[in-house]
Amino acid sequence: MKRLLLLLALAACSPQKPAMLPPDANTTEEAPQDHKLIIYQLMTRLFGNQNTTNKTYGTAQENGVGKFNDINDQALQAIKRMGVSHVWYTGVLDHATLTAYEGIPADDADVVKGRAGSPYAIRDYYDVAPDLAVNVPKRMAEFEALVKRTHNNGLKVIIDFIPNHIARSYKSDAKPAGVVDLGEQDDKTQAFKASNNFYYLPGQPFVVPADYTPLGGQPGPQKDGKYQESPAKATGNDVFAAAPSVNDWFETTKLNYGVDYQNNRQSYFDPIPDTWGKMRDILVFWARKDVDGFRCDMAEMVPVEFWAWVIPELKKVKPSLLFIGEAYDAKTYQMYITQGGFDYLYDKVGLYDGLRRLTRNEGTTRDITKVWSEESRGFGSHMLRFLENHDEQRIASPDFAGNARASLPAMTVSATLGTGPVMLYFGQDVGEPALNSEGFSGADGRTTIFDYWGVPEHQKWLNGGKFDGGQLSAEQKQLHAFYVRLLTLSGQREAIRKGRFYELQSTLAAQNSGYNAERVYAYLRYTDAETLLVIVNFSPDQTHTLDLNLPAALREGLRLPADQPLTYTDLLAPAGTTGSSSTVTLAPQSSHIFEIKK
C-alpha cells in the first residue's frame, strides 16, 4: 500500500507531457526560437514633415523636410503604443543631394535621382544627412540625441548599411583622423585589382545616360549632361560599362570585395581585401554610436564570405547587434543565415509576393504553405515578414489593392505565421495610398525616397505634432486600432513569440464540406500554456461559415481534453468576444485569432 501511494505521488509530481502535435505534413521539425521583433520603418526625411504643399520636384524649402528632432518623445511613445520594439530610421547616412548647405555643396544633377537624392547613394559613410538636422553643423549631435531618446523610450535603433555601392561623388569629409578614404590608394590603371576599392574601365570616361532628364527638365546644379569621372567606374548594379542606361543604378559605383566579375567571378579573399577592412571600420563607427542593428542593403550582391567575417567582428564590439539582410534569392537564404551570420533576411519573394497575389485575388493559399514547408523550412524564425516598405507599393494604392483593409488577412499572416520579426512601414496603418507624382518617383504607388514630400494620410496621424491620429477618419482610426491590436498580440503572446506551428487546411477541409482552401487559410500557434487558432479569409466577396472544432487527436496533442467544453476568444475583435461555440462566420477579407481554452 505504501509503495502504491509513493508511485501515485511521484506520478503527480512528474512533469506534464509537453503540448506536441504529430510530426506530419502540416508542420515542420523547426524548434521555435523567440525572434519576434516588431519593427517600425520610417523614412526619416518624410516622417515628421508637416508641410502639405507637395509641389512636384519641390525644394526642401517649398515642400518641407522632416528632421531628427521631429521624432520627439511624444512621437516615440505613440510608436511604442503600437506594440513596436525597434525603429528603423531609413535614410540617415549622408547621401548625394541637390540641396546645398554652408560648406556642403550640392551634387551634380546628372548623377542624382530626384531633388533630395537617393538615400542609397551614400557620399560619406561617416556622416549623417544635413537635410535631417535643424542645426546643420551639429547634425551628428542631433542624431546621437535621437538614438538616446529612442532608447529612453524603450525602443531600439536600426539604421541602413549600404555595402554594395556608393554615390559617384563619394568623398568623406567627416571620416576620423587616420582613415584612408575609399579609392584614395586605388590603382586606376587596372580594371580589377584585389586591393582596389572600385572596379575601373581604363581609358573610358563615364557617360551620363543620354535619356536622363534631371528634375523633369527643371534647372539643376551643374546640369549639362556630363559628369567628370575618368576612368569610369563600374555601376552599382554590376554594370561594367562606361555608359550605363537610365534604368541602371547609374548614380552609384560598385564596391570591390575581391571578386573579379569579368573573369568568372574569381575570388581573392586571402589576404583580406582592403574594402573589407574599411567597411568593418565604418560599421564599428556606427555601433559605437549605440545603434542596435543594421539593415544591410542588397546583401546578396556582396560575397557571403565578407558577411561571415565582418558580422562576428562587429559582435565582438557589441554582441547584441542585429544584422538584417535585404535578400531576394530564396536558394541562398540558408547560406546567408548559417554561413553569412545574418540574424534575419527579407521574406520578399516568398511570403510577401504570395500574400500580395492573394490580396489581389490572384494567388492561392498554397503559396503560404510553400513558404513554411519548402522555402524557409527549418529557419523560418530568421525571416523578416512585411507587406510594405520603401521599395514596395502601398497597399492602398491602385497598383496594389486599392483598399487598405483588403490586406488585413495578409498582415495577420505576416505577423503570426512564425516566430520571426514583422515590419510595418510608416503610414501603412492609416492607409496611405501614395497617389501623387512626387518627382523622380512618379505616380508609381510608392511613397518617394528621392524627393521632398509630405505624406498626406500619415500627416493626419501626425495631427500637427500631437501624434494622436486626431485628423484621421473613423475608418482610418479603426484600421490603426486593428494594427495596434495585431502588433501588440504578436509581440506579447507566448504562442506567437515562441510557439509551434501546425497548419489546419486539411483538418478543416475534412470537417467542412465546400471549404475554400484556396482563399481561406488556418493554422495553430501553440505552447504548453497557450493555444491560438489563426484563420483568415482572403476572398473579396465570399462569406464562409465554418466549424473550427478540432479532432480528438489534435486536442489530445494540445492538452485540450475532448470531453470538456472549450471557449473561443477572438483576440483581434475590438473588445474580444468569448463563446463556447466553435462555429465562426468569416466575412470577406477578415481575420481572426482565437484563444482556445478549456
pLDDT in tens, 122-162: 999 999 999 999 999 999 999 999 999 999 999 999 999 99
Task: Name the CATH superfamily, with its identifier, for domain 500-597.
Answer: Golgi alpha-mannosidase II (2.60.40.1180)
Nearest Cα residue to 408 out of 573, 585, 568, 584: 573
Nearest Cα residue to 71 out of 94, 98, 92, 97: 92
Average pLDDT for 271-300:
98
Nearest Cα residue to 53 out of 485, 347, 452, 364: 452
DSSP E strand stretches across 390-541? 422-425, 500-503, 520-526, 531-537
Q: At residue 7, does pLDDT exceed 50?
A: no
Question: What's the length of the chain?
Answer: 598
pLDDT for 8: 40
Phi and psi torsions of 286, nearest 5°:
-80, -35
The answer to whether residues 498 and 419 touch, using CB atoms and an 8 Å cutoff, is yes
Query: Can you tell me the distance from the alpha carbon of 424 to that of 361, in angstroms, rounded to the nearest whole number?
Result: 22
pLDDT for 15: 53
pLDDT for 580: 67
Nearest Cα residue to 124 out of 162, 172, 67: 172
Nearest Cα residue to 353 out of 378, 334, 339, 370: 370
Cis, peptide link before residue 105, omega less than 30° from 0: no
pLDDT for 20: 87
pLDDT for 10: 40
pLDDT over 90, % of the chain: 93
Whole-structure pTM value: 0.96
Cell 564590439 sits on residue? 317
pLDDT for 9: 45
Query: Can you tell me the distance from the alpha carbon of 461 to that of 430, in angstroms, rounded to the nearest whole number?
Result: 8
pLDDT for 16: 64
Query: Can you tell me the distance from the alpha carbon of 568 to that of 355, in angstroms, rounded to the nearest whole number?
Result: 26
Q: At residue 303, does pLDDT exceed 80?
A: yes
Could you write out the DSSP letters of every residue in 444-468? Answer: SSS--SSS----HHHHHHHTTTT-S
Cell 509537453 sits on residue? 18
pLDDT for 582: 85
Query: Can you tell me the distance from the alpha carbon of 280 to that of 311, in angstroms, rounded to the nearest whole number?
Result: 9
Average pLDDT for 232-237:
98
pLDDT for 262: 97
Mean residue pLDDT across the chain: 95
Least confident of 369-383, 507-521, 549-563: 549-563
Q: At residue 14, does pLDDT exceed 60?
A: no
Q: At residue 326, does pLDDT exceed 60?
A: yes
Query: Can you tell me the distance from the alpha carbon of 24 to that of 351, in angstroms, rounded to the nearest whole number?
Result: 22
The answer to whether residues 450 and 441 touch, using CB atoms and an 8 Å cutoff, is yes
The answer to whether residues 275 and 283 touch, using CB atoms and an 8 Å cutoff, is no
Q: At residue 379, does pLDDT exceed 60?
A: yes
Confidence band, pLDDT 50/70/90 cuts, at residue 561: confident
pLDDT for 576: 58
Distance from chain centroid for Cα 367:
20
Every domain of the chain with CATH number 3.20.20.80 lies at 38-164+276-491
DSSP 191: S
Q: ∠ CA 487-522-415 to the nearest 5 degrees? A: 20
Cis, peptide link before residue 130, omega less than 30° from 0: no
Helix (H) or strand (E) holding 63: helix 60-63
DSSP E strand stretches across 176-251? 200-201, 232-233
Confidence band, pLDDT 50/70/90 cuts, at residue 1: very low
Average pLDDT for 111-115:
98
Burial (0-12, 13-18, 19+ Cβ within 10 Å), 249: buried
Q: At residue 13, does pLDDT exceed 60?
A: no
Cell 487598405 sits on residue? 404
DSSP 513: T
pLDDT for 548: 93
Q: At residue 195, does pLDDT exceed 70?
A: yes
Every domain of the chain with CATH number 2.60.40.1180 lies at 500-597
Task: Name the CATH superfamily, with its identifier, for domain 38-164+276-491.
Answer: Glycosidases (3.20.20.80)
Is the sign of the CA dihedral 512, 516, 518, 524 positive or negative? negative
pLDDT for 23: 87
Task: Enumerate residues 6+ apart whose C-beta is below 8 A from 466.
Answer: 74
Query: Can you tell me the distance from the alpha carbon of 383 to that of 386, in angstroms, rounded to the nearest whole number?
Result: 10
